[in-house]
Structure 1
Amino acid sequence: MGKEKCLLFLVVIWSMLASAQSNQPFDMIMQRVFDDEVVEVTSSRVPKVQQLAASLGVDGAWEDIPYERTDISSWPAGKHFDRLKPIIAAYVYNKSPLYGDAKLKSAIDKALSFWANHDFKSKNWWHNEIAMPKAIGVSLIMLHFGKEPVDGNLKSALIKKMERGDVYAKTGANKSDIAMHYFYRALLTSDEELLTSSLEQLYYPVQLVDGEEGLQHDYSYLQHGPQLYIAGYGEEFLKGISKIMFYVRNTTYAMPPDKVALFSGFLKNTYLPILRYGYIDFNVHGRGVSRPGILQKDDMKDVLERMIALDGKNKAIWNGVLQEIDKDSKYDFKFSPIHKHFWKADYTIHLRDNYHFNVRLASDRTNKSEAGNQENIYGKNMSDGVTNIQVYGDEYYDIMPLWEWDKIPGTTTRDYQEDQVLVEQWGKPAKNQFAGGVSDGHYGVSALKVDYDSVVANKAWFFFDDQVVCLGAGITSETKEPIVTTLNQTWLKGNVIINGRALSTKDEVFVEVNAGDRFMHNRIVYLFPEAGNVTLNAKEERGTWSKINRSRSADTVKGEVFKLWLNHGVRPQQATYAYIVYPGTNKVSEQELGTIRILQNTAAMQAVSHAILGRTQVVFYEPGVFAGDDWRIEVDRPCLLQLTTDEDGDVEVAVSDPLQLAENIQVSLTNQSYAVSEKKTIALPQGAEKGATVSVKIK
């Protein structure tokens, strides 16, 4: 071989190797997308796939899909790709009985051509700019591995339809979703520049932001303004980003380690602690609570399995949660105790081995729960001190069509004759400034000044190991409707026990309770430390999903509901309430009863102490002096305060600013038994940390 031919041969070889190396990341990443999206097709699935393909019209459309409709929520045209995906899977899955089937390929080509030749759109931008471009991308990537390629012109036409949505104009989960189909398009076109820019946008939301939409400095997640969305949009953030991380792992495109740690932190320290046996707190789902099946999170198994490969140092945690949400867990999973207040989101979680008790607040810094796209039509009180109490996890699963919506658990509201529509769309800030929590990671107190729908009330929750003390004061309204505070509204399971005796009939019962009276239902005890007027409703209720979400079924659903509330009467003036919840138990011992002391419950101040834990918790709604448990505590501004004493006589003071306005707070402490007489000026967190807890130790 001559020198010139040898050199030419080497140039060709080098060129081929360089080309193969440049394509290698695309091919490998595309293979991972395919492996993730394709489903196993067994012989049992063949008839269904063949039926779907056979029912496709000559023009490539399904006759029963009204493609021209523009519905906002359940857009009918979107079903086109829902039906097409299993047909594609049967064609491309190499162990499928229909692998490479010519009839399936003909049906796929017709269905794709039909979509390429039309421009169906919903009135909801999400379908047009997120759902459909992603569906097209996934379909084309799956077909890339088929026996016969898609016609080049058809492929180009469909890729052109993916060029929708401005990724640079969106935030949070919406940015991630649009960047996802940019990513698919880059793989399909082998466009390295587009792949790089799509990943930049996909990684961009993995950062802490201050009040903007996305992941906050307290590790909550906000979307649609400063609105709590740890599930819903936060969940889409977890699903989408984990997919991308998994696809590009161990390549030059892999997510930087600091962002992997941040992403894992949100999943590990925020999202997963809100799960209980695979069911999530309804408080964190926004308008999504009006969708059937939304609170069960079996689909999070995919995220956890990806994280085992992506974040091996937390493998035990990921495997542990997989075990927890397994249907055969028998409710024996061991939960670690957590208490955390999210000061950016106005939300508190309290987790113990035998229960969850979470509270959603609202303030003029955060948006109340939204209605939108004709969803969550009656959710007007979904942010006003709403409590989620779970022992088994499924206490509220799919109960929403049967709810009486002015008796959402935990709230103090007007008792209307009929459910009232939430007029404000997409979430509006609350009127009140005062909302916050103080926490040491295990215990704490949260409080809220409700000022909504012509009802004002000061509400507080004092969190310990075995009980949560719930206090209300200053309850005032001039409306014609009675004012009520709802302890719970959940599925009726088993007997209702009142002071040790089972309720004899399932109906509505009015009870004048005395101090010490208690109700027990489904391993939760509700104890009344003072006399009051209570109504119990334990009977079958009926409703429809379409009442609360116009795009859902109008078929009647029914079930038995447990509903318990306190009555404050018509036009109450400075009314109060007190009740103590003991979740995860069937009985309360006299010793447990003696550990709790309610020290104050007025519009100016609420205070509770726990003798065994050595904790005194105080809510100051205004500057003032607390005197109780041998302590005198004076503060110069509204605050939440927790005082902890130990056996050595050391004292720790934890405080937070529920108004998020002050730079410091002056606290004076006096206690002769502990030989304490201190006056301290405590600097409060600023910037993105406003509202967070700060602690000071005193010898």
Structure 2
Amino acid sequence: MNRLLLILIMPLLCVQSFAQADFPFGTISRRVVDDELAQLSTKDHLLKTYRSTLGKDGAWPDIDYTDRAVTEWKPTAHLDRVRQLIGAYVHEDSPLYQNRALYTQIISALNYWAQHNFTSTNWWHNEIATPKAIGVALILMKTGKEQVPKQLEDALVLKMTKGDPYKMTGANKSDIAIHYFYRALITQDKHLLTSSLEQLFYPVQLVDGKEGLQYDFSYLQHGPQLYIAGYGEEFLKGISTIMYYVRDTPYAISEEKKQLFIRFLKESYLPIIRGGYIDFNVQGRGISRPNILKKNAGVTMLQHMLAIDPQQRQMWMHEIAKLDSTSPYDTPRSPLHRHYWKGDYSTHIREGYQVNVRIASARTNRSESGNGENIYGKYMTDGVTNIQVFGPEYMNIMPIWEWDKIPGTTTQDRTADPVLTAQWGELASNQFAGGVSDGQYGCTAMVLDYDSIKAHKAWFFFDKQVVCLGAGITSNSNAPVVTTLNQTWKKGKVKWGGKAMPAVDSLERTVNPGEYVSHNQVAYLFNDRAGVTLTNKKQTGSWYHINRSRSKESITGMVFKLWINHGVRPVDATYAYSLYPGTESPNKLEAEKVRIITNTKAVQAVEHRGLDCIQAVFYQAGQLETDQLFVEVDQPIILQINKEASGYTLCVADPNQQIDAVRVNVRDKRSGQSKEVRIALPQGAYRGATAKSAIR
């Protein structure tokens, strides 16, 4: 069907009010209505309750309209219920379709809202959520047999004039622009429609040093705070929805912006969802909200993408299957390794697992608390390691987490969870933080300097294993210092060295190199001698404990927790362990391919002989010697060397994001040949990205 024929036919499919509307208002509005009605149930069992309890004044007696809460603002329920009632009134399949008595109740409820000025102490409710809800209600009512009286509609439209998208950034700009867009449709204001879409699509661009979509395709909000989900997710949902509404009209998004949007969705957001569950690292303070990691609601967004980007229909259908659980968690996927030099975040994805790491630097904010949320997220940027084989390993575990033993972190082991006192995030103090990547393998490292602890932490990513090294661990605190390997829901048996553990809830012992623990298809191999504690017992908490707007109801569950003990006031302590996700026991031959070359404050390096690959973190200019090579660098860098048939391929990144170039000298000890190369490093918005060079 060509575009002209579509334009001619669409108004005929609309109800009378839309049939009279000028193109494109009728077309766009009809899409809004169809989209909203598809998400509403015409047989919602609560409809009867809503109708029977609605007072003659248009209010519901069970709603506290005086509430001004920052989150979970109670008056929101009024507009939610009105939307449900309107859906029942305008949906042709509804038993209450065009019901006169229902119409009277809807008008009464809308009138009650128009006559009052309900406000939250959180600007978001006042300037985003409420105007959007009013806009949807009024657009839906345009399809009703009886319309909202003009005087009442005008009063409600006036209440929508909140917030200024021109003063906002990122997802907040788009969210405000959405209700400007709704207001334009209601009033059929072409100028407002144009300006709202201009602001709505404005954040679909790469920015450097500002909130929004970064040059590494991470997403930052609230300053340089990682938010690929959370605000990044709102950005994706909001803009994809409006793109869907205005497609194939003169107001459609530009092709350039559409491709940027698709790339962020396809390359950054979707890959870190496994079995329908996203990496908790990218959710920000939202991890303190129930069910936040389950992303099946994203199916609607991807269904929109089918219409926006039909050329990639097969790919979008595949992603829909992954989100709605019709596709198994171990669906085939290509190996992927990425480091986000703007977001201080690394993803390592294989068919059998994903292991992702979040760090922080003087260029990025540490984890944020705010609005009474994420109260104990003090260590959520200190090398936090997400390990997923199946997907739901961490789903809703946060209320009972021990928050000073977050997976991957090196922290003080306190008697009580430490409160995150800095609201809305603060820059980390360490300059050194970064990663190198060739797209398939990579290495990530940071210098931890926080809460009386200093440590050099590094992760080396290969196919079957992730090697985790720590060096220079020093603390002047009287609290013991620990490095946590994992803290996750207990699923199935816990095995030590391949044998099921006895029925004890806690075990503390010294391990030797080569020993391993396995649980839920992840094996933890100890590469060095270490004091280790394993607990396998019930933990109790509540959502209120971590988020003051949530339930105080007690939650209890069985938790697997494994950590290394460094003792009190350690000086230059170390750790070395390897993760083997997707297996209950490390393959001995595979493990023997990996050799830890050195683990000091100066250099941390690992060699994978099967891949002919060396990964090294140089915290200062220095040297590294292996069985076959002598490597020297004149700057602090993270380096990966791959042996090729005719020489070596070097991947280099500057974790301090300060230098222009680095000199690397590689001498082959067998041939005696020595070659030096000067590698120019990315600059500007790409400082910290990986540069490649070859030695032939």
Distance 1:20 1:494 in 2: 60
Distance 1:501 1:20 in 2: 72
Q: Deviations over 1:509-545 (max 9, x none)?
A: 1021111100000000000012110000111111100
Distance 1:367 1:512 in 2: 37
Label 1:610 to 1:166 Cα distance change in 2 as closer, same or farther (>3 A). same
- TM-aligned CA deviation for residue 24 of structure 1: 1.8
- TM-aligned CA deviation for residue 174 of structure 1: 0.2
Q: Deviations over 1:85-135 (max 9, x none)?
A: 111100110111000112211111111011000001111000000000000
Query: Is it true that 1:417 corresponds to 2:418 in the alignment?
Result: no
Query: Is it true that 1:27 corresponds to 2:26 in the alignment?
Result: yes
- TM-aligned CA deviation for residue 669 of structure 1: 1.1
Q: Do the aligned partners of 2:165 and 2:176 also contact (CA within 8 Å) in 1?
A: yes
Distance 1:677 1:104 in 2: 85
Distance 2:619 2:288 in 1: 35
Which has the larger displacement, 405-414 or 677-686?
Answer: 677-686
Which of 648, 663, 667 is equivalent to 2:664?
667
- Correspondence for 1:262: 260
Distance 2:404 2:627 in 1: 38
Partner of 1:511, secondary structure, is strand
Q: Do the aligned partners of 1:412 and 1:483 also contact (CA within 8 Å) in 2?
A: yes
- TM-aligned CA deviation for residue 328 of structure 1: 3.7
Label 1:432 to 1:550 Cα distance change in 2 as closer, same or farther (>3 A). same
Query: Is it true that 1:135 corresponds to 2:128 in the alignment?
Result: no
Q: Deviations over 1:62-103 (max 9, x none)?
A: 111111111001111111111111111001101110001122
Q: Deviations over 1:199-237 (max 9, x none)?
A: 000110000000200000000000000000000000000
- Correspondence for 1:687: 684
Where does 1:61-140 land on structure 2 (aligned, <5 Å)? 61-140=59-138
- TM-aligned CA deviation for residue 405 of structure 1: 0.2
- TM-aligned CA deviation for residue 317 of structure 1: 1.8
Partner of 2:104, secondary structure, is helix
- Correspondence for 2:405: 407
Where does 1:9-48 land on structure 2 (aligned, <5 Å)? 23-39=22-38, 44-45=43-44, 47-48=45-46
Label 1:212 to 1:674 Cα distance change in 2 as closer, same or farther (>3 A). farther
Distance 1:561 1:176 in 2: 40
- TM-aligned CA deviation for residue 562 of structure 1: 0.4
Distance 1:84 1:411 in 2: 47
Q: Do the aligned partners of 2:58 and 2:110 also contact (CA within 8 Å) in 1?
A: yes
Partner of 2:86, secondary structure, is helix
Query: Is it true that 1:522 corresponds to 2:526 in the alignment?
Result: no
Distance 2:578 2:305 in 1: 39
Partner of 1:600, secondary structure, is strand
Distance 2:226 2:20 in 1: 45
- Correspondence for 2:494: 496
| Partner amino acid, structure 2, of 1:408 | I
| Partner amino acid, structure 1, of 2:192 | L
- TM-aligned CA deviation for residue 459 of structure 1: 0.1
Where does 1:195-234 land on structure 2 (aligned, <5 Å)? 195-234=193-232
In angstroms, what is the RMSD of aligned CA positions? 1.3
Q: Do the aligned partners of 1:642 and 1:653 also contact (CA within 8 Å) in 2?
A: yes
Where does 1:299-314 land on structure 2 (aligned, <5 Å)? 299-314=297-312
Query: Is it true that 1:344 corresponds to 2:359 in the alignment?
Result: no
Which has the larger displacement, 309-318 or 661-670?
Answer: 309-318
Q: Deviations over 1:632-666 (max 9, x none)?
A: 111111100000002x1321011000000001111
Label 1:127 to 1:489 Cα distance change in 2 as closer, same or farther (>3 A). same
Where does 1:396-545 land on structure 2 (aligned, <5 Å)? 396-545=394-543
- TM-aligned CA deviation for residue 630 of structure 1: 1.6
Q: Do the aligned partners of 1:186 and 1:194 also contact (CA within 8 Å) in 2?
A: yes
Distance 1:40 1:182 in 2: 22
Where does 1:531-680 land on structure 2 (aligned, <5 Å)? 531-646=529-644, 648-673=645-670, 676-680=673-677
Partner of 1:168, secondary structure, is helix
Q: Do the aligned partners of 1:41 and 1:93 also contact (CA within 8 Å) in 2?
A: no
Which has the larger displacement, 234-243 or 499-508?
Answer: 499-508
Distance 1:328 1:26 in 2: 37
- Runs of 5+ consecutive residues of structure 1 not aligned to the other structure: 1-18
Q: Do the aligned partners of 2:299 and 2:324 also contact (CA within 8 Å) in 1?
A: no
- Correspondence for 2:191: 193
| Partner amino acid, structure 1, of 2:193 | L
Which of 280, 303, 307 is equivalent to 2:278?
280
Q: Do the aligned partners of 2:200 and 2:239 also contact (CA within 8 Å) in 1?
A: yes
Q: Do the aligned partners of 2:498 and 2:584 also contact (CA within 8 Å) in 1?
A: no
- TM-aligned CA deviation for residue 43 of structure 1: 7.0
- Correspondence for 2:12: none
- TM-aligned CA deviation for residue 331 of structure 1: 3.1
Q: Do the aligned partners of 1:414 and 1:481 also contact (CA within 8 Å) in 2?
A: yes
TM-score for the superposition, normalised by structure 1: 0.96
| Partner amino acid, structure 2, of 1:542 | T
| Partner amino acid, structure 2, of 1:178 | I
- Runs of 5+ consecutive residues of structure 2 not aligned to the other structure: 1-17
Distance 2:39 2:646 in 1: 64
Distance 1:396 1:105 in 2: 45
Q: Do the aligned partners of 2:87 and 2:140 also contact (CA within 8 Å) in 1?
A: yes
Partner of 2:586, secondary structure, is coil
Which has the larger displacement, 319-328 or 91-100?
Answer: 319-328
| Partner amino acid, structure 2, of 1:28 | T
Distance 1:200 1:603 in 2: 51
Distance 1:405 1:530 in 2: 26
| Partner amino acid, structure 1, of 2:141 | L
Distance 1:594 1:558 in 2: 40
Which has the larger displacement, 166-175 or 311-320?
Answer: 311-320
Partner of 1:76, secondary structure, is coil
Label 1:49 to 1:676 Cα distance change in 2 as closer, same or farther (>3 A). farther
| Partner amino acid, structure 1, of 2:322 | E
Which has the larger displacement, 22-31 or 163-172?
Answer: 22-31
Distance 1:211 1:236 in 2: 20
Label 1:641 to 1:555 Cα distance change in 2 as closer, same or farther (>3 A). same
Distance 1:41 1:380 in 2: 39
Q: Share of identical aligned residues, percent?
A: 54
Distance 2:57 2:651 in 1: 69
Q: Do the aligned partners of 1:186 and 1:192 also contact (CA within 8 Å) in 2?
A: yes
Q: Do the aligned partners of 1:171 and 1:214 also contact (CA within 8 Å) in 2?
A: yes
Q: Do the aligned partners of 2:375 and 2:420 also contact (CA within 8 Å) in 1?
A: yes
Q: Deviations over 1:262-316 (max 9, x none)?
A: 0000001100111101100000000000000000001111111111111122222
Q: Deviations over 1:415-470 (max 9, x none)?
A: 00000100000000000000000000000100010000000000000000000000
| Partner amino acid, structure 1, of 2:22 | N
Distance 2:262 2:83 in 1: 31
- Correspondence for 1:183: 181
Distance 2:32 2:186 in 1: 11
Partner of 1:53, secondary structure, is helix
Distance 1:76 1:589 in 2: 55
TM-score for the superposition, normalised by structure 2: 0.96
Q: Do the aligned partners of 2:42 and 2:91 also contact (CA within 8 Å) in 1?
A: no
Which has the larger displacement, 20-29 or 637-646?
Answer: 20-29
- Correspondence for 1:144: 142
| Partner amino acid, structure 2, of 1:471 | L
- TM-aligned CA deviation for residue 631 of structure 1: 1.1
Which of 262, 265, 271 is equivalent to 2:269?
271
